[in-house]
Chain A
């Protein structure tokens, strides 16, 4: 199947938002999605964007049953390791189910790695749910190591409410800056 991978444009954000929701529904966390295409437009297409995004597109004659030609995306951003330096973090990789098995996921992943390499990144990192065996195998067969299994690395998170509480502690400290 013919497909093209290209950088997302601002006008793609509605399609990206649609697919973010599809992915969240699949992961059973649809209620956790708080942002819409407007936040994506603001945060991804400003002077100092917080993320970059690639789109997978098919020609009109191969559009989805609902009429979409934008059928996959990869959303990523740059992070930093104090040991290794520049890294790229793959936040989301998604291909609409009816378009899987055509190399689109691999195409998106490779392009993120290529872009990361151009920016001198030495690592590509991501997280995956333990029950998502298809995704785990997809990444493992392409050389990703599971650091949770091999070195006991755990992902910790402060959600909004606890982040607020943590931040309130800052104003009580004796500090100047």
Chain B
């Protein structure tokens, strides 16, 4: 199947917001999605963006069954980070429509993120995955990554809401 990978632009934020919601539905956490299309536009396409995005697109004749007239897209978000004393790239989310699985698109997106990261001088690509999401875990391990939680014992911790408010007080 023919597909292309390109940098996301501000007009893609509507599609990206839609797919973020779909991914959250799949992960059973829809109530946790707080950001909107507007947030993505502001945070990803301002002078000092918080993230970058790449899009996978198929030609009109291969569009999804959803039939809203738009060419469906996939995306992956990434940010530049310093991690483990080395410059690294972290990838937040990747989402594929079921009908487009098995076409090499996921692999192409990951490869592009790695390529962009290396071009920017990064030495690591880090991200997280839920352990029950077996198809994702298998996909990533098959691509050559290591599970740093299992192998080295790293636990991922988060401070949010009231806890973060409380912490921010001197």
Contacts and interface: CB of A to CB of B under 8 A. Distances in A.
A127 interface: yes
B79 A79 contact: yes
B157 A143 contact: no
Contacts of A20: 85
Using C-beta atoms within 8 Å of the partner chain, give the interface range for chain B: 35 or more
A71 B156 CA distance: 26
B20 A82 contact: yes
B150 to A, nearest CB: 7
Given A117-B168, A124-B164, A173 B104 contact: yes
Given A83-B20, A117-B165, A154 B114 contact: no
A8 to B, nearest CB: 13
Contact of A165 (B3, B32, B144, B153): B144
A144 B157 contact: yes
Given A78-B50, A84-B34, A110-B169, A149 B155 contact: yes
Nearest to A84: B34
A176 B2 CA distance: 12
B78 to A, nearest CB: 9
Contact of B129 (A77, A156, A158, A164): A156
B92 A155 contact: no
Contact of B160 (A79, A123, A136): A123
A165 B77 CA distance: 20
A80 B158 contact: no
Instruction: Report the 9 A-B pairs with minimum CB-CB distance, sorted nearest first.
Output: A143-B163, A170-B111, A152-B131, A130-B153, A162-B144, A177-B6, A169-B111, A167-B114, A113-B168
19 contacts: A32-B85, A33-B85, A50-B81, A82-B93, A113-B159, A124-B159, A130-B154, A143-B159, A143-B167, A152-B132, A153-B129, A154-B129, A156-B141, A157-B148, A166-B144, A170-B108, A170-B114, A175-B4, A176-B6
Interface of B: 2-7, 16, 20, 23-24, 29, 32-35, 39, 43-44, 48, 50-51, 54, 77, 79-87, 90, 92-93, 104, 107-108, 110-112, 114-115, 117-118, 122-132, 137, 140-141, 143-150, 152-170
Interface of A: 20, 24, 32-35, 39, 43-44, 48, 50-51, 75, 77-86, 89, 91, 107, 109-110, 113-114, 116-117, 122-131, 136, 139, 142-149, 151-160, 162-171, 173-177
